[in-house]
């Protein structure tokens, strides 16, 4: 499954908006960057699990 290159984080804020609203823009960037890294890492792990072994 390909990972979308443009994920709409800013259009879909967290479930607890009161926490998100207390963050300034720099803090939001850090959170979104870390979230993107975790999603990419998870996608890479799932992709490796789906690929057949060449042993």
- pLDDT tens column, 13-51: 667 878 888 999 999 999 889 988 998 898 888 777 766
d(CA 16, CA 8): 17
CB within 8 Å of 43: residues ≥ 6 apart: 1, 3
Tell me, what's the pLDDT at 20? 82
8 against 44, higher pLDDT? 44
> Under a CB-based contact definition with an 8 Å cutoff, are residues 40 and 1 in contact?
no
């Amino acid at each position: 499954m390909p990972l979308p290159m443009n994920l709409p984080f800013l259009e879909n804020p967290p479930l607890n908006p009161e926490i998100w609203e207390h963050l300034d823009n720099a803090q939001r960037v850090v959170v979104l960057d870390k979230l993107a890294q975790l999603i990419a890492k998870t996608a890479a792990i799932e992709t490796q699990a789906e690929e057949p072994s060449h042993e």
